[in-house]
Chain A
């Protein structure tokens, strides 16, 4: 399974970003190969509007099965994410990426 996380930095120890559209990084963890990669999304900071759909488009390219984030994608981003079968887990805004993944594994996050 591939797990996506919205984070403020590119590492497991990075703090999660509660926002979806304007998250600086999307971390992709591949459970099968135990590999963590980071998608740099910092350029979204230059977009006055429409950050949500743009980030969602990037997420879809990575083709994860699960997304872990804070508030959850807003309306537009949610519509893009909904075109793929991605389970969204929210409430991980105040954790590190590592803690967020553990919380997801323990079934402690709310599924949207």
Chain B
């Protein structure tokens, strides 16, 4: 089962839920936690373990062959992303703007732009008992999260095919990276806060999940902090409320220290169990 943990915006506790849920489940069965928030991967910090194994990840970009180029300028013209600039005597390529569409390469009349791999980030992993962890990190200045998310999911498919439960810590927001990260998920957990900001962002996330035809439910983090408009909204929209994690300064401090909060707060452990029960019921 693939469970994606997402949220309309950052800072709602998405990573907290992902890390705690994965660690909690790993007490009794094998689990893979995958950090797909490739611009700001933080799950590893909260796992308290350094992913030691890893490899660089690459994307395909054109490389200019000066000897065969006829300087016709067509490459600059076909590139919708302005990743190629054809100067009178040379062709310049900007890897971070390139979407790897292959148009310039395959349409070049003299085949002077063969596609070659270039580093875009790094994937790392570790396994500790039942819990396996995979994270990917985009290099600074790299702009396309989607290809790295795709590669990471393919890697997990291959390496952890036998692991029954996968938890995806998704990028925040409602744009392409989230859509890619939730595409294959059986269930999406939307984490929000009971505040006007939380509700506003939750509505955007719900719209997106409905558009993608996903099964989803809501976890309210810091319950008791704001007002009850999130709960009222979920009730009115028929969205399952999976769990409520209470607002408690000690939990916030525990989080700030990078601890797994369910190990210190039994109430959180009960909520994690409730999340899993609700997901199993909803997904069956």
CB distance from A101 to the nearest CB of B (A): 27
| Also in contact, A60 and B87, with CB within 8 A (given A53-B92, A76-B94) | yes
Measured between alpha carbons, how far is A53 from B82 in the docked complex, in Å? 7
Measured between alpha carbons, how far is A75 from B76 in the docked complex, in Å? 19
Report chain A residues within 8 Å CB of B90: 83
Given contact pairs A49-B81, A76-B97, a sample of 9 additional A-B residue pairs in the complex whose CB atoms are under 8 Å apart: A49-B97, A50-B97, A51-B82, A53-B82, A53-B83, A53-B92, A53-B94, A54-B85, A79-B94
Contacting residues of chain A (4-54) with chain B, CB-CB under 8 angstroms = 47, 49-51, 53-54
| Contact assessment for B92 and A50 in the assembled complex, using a CB-CB cutoff below 8 Å | no
Kindly state whether residue A80 has any CB partner on chain B within 8 Å. yes
| Contact assessment for B83 and A50 in the assembled complex, using a CB-CB cutoff below 8 Å | yes
Report chain A residues within 8 Å CB of B48: none
Report chain A residues within 8 Å CB of B96: 76
Contacting residues of chain B (97-132) with chain A, CB-CB under 8 angstroms = 97
Kindly state whether residue A111 has any CB partner on chain B within 8 Å. no
CB distance from B85 to the nearest CB of A (A): 5
Measured between alpha carbons, how far is A101 from B188 in the docked complex, in Å? 58
Kindly state whether residue A100 has any CB partner on chain B within 8 Å. no
| Also in contact, A49 and B82, with CB within 8 A (given A83-B90, A83-B92) | yes
Kindly state whether residue B141 has any CB partner on chain A within 8 Å. yes
Report chain B residues within 8 Å CB of A108: none
Report chain A residues within 8 Å CB of B92: 53, 79-80, 83
Contacting residues of chain A (43-80) with chain B, CB-CB under 8 angstroms = 47, 49-51, 53-54, 56-57, 60, 75-76, 79-80
Report chain A residues within 8 Å CB of B82: 47, 49-51, 53-54
Contacting residues of chain B (132-178) with chain A, CB-CB under 8 angstroms = 141, 143
Report chain B residues within 8 Å CB of A50: 81-83, 94, 97
Report chain B residues within 8 Å CB of A75: 141
CB distance from B268 to the nearest CB of A (A): 42
Report chain B residues within 8 Å CB of A57: 76, 85, 87
CB distance from A49 to the nearest CB of B (A): 6
| Also in contact, A83 and B94, with CB within 8 A (given A47-B82, A49-B81) | no
29 contacting pairs across A/B (C-beta < 8 A): A47-B82, A49-B81, A49-B82, A49-B97, A49-B143, A50-B81, A50-B82, A50-B83, A50-B94, A50-B97, A51-B82, A53-B82, A53-B83, A53-B85, A53-B92, A54-B82, A54-B85, A56-B85, A57-B76, A57-B85, A57-B87, A76-B94, A76-B96, A76-B97, A79-B92, A80-B87, A80-B92, A83-B87, A83-B92
The 4 A-B pairs of least Cβ separation, nearest first, read A50-B82, A50-B97, A76-B94, A53-B85
Report chain A residues within 8 Å CB of B97: 49-50, 53, 76
Measured between alpha carbons, how far is A53 from B96 in the docked complex, in Å? 12
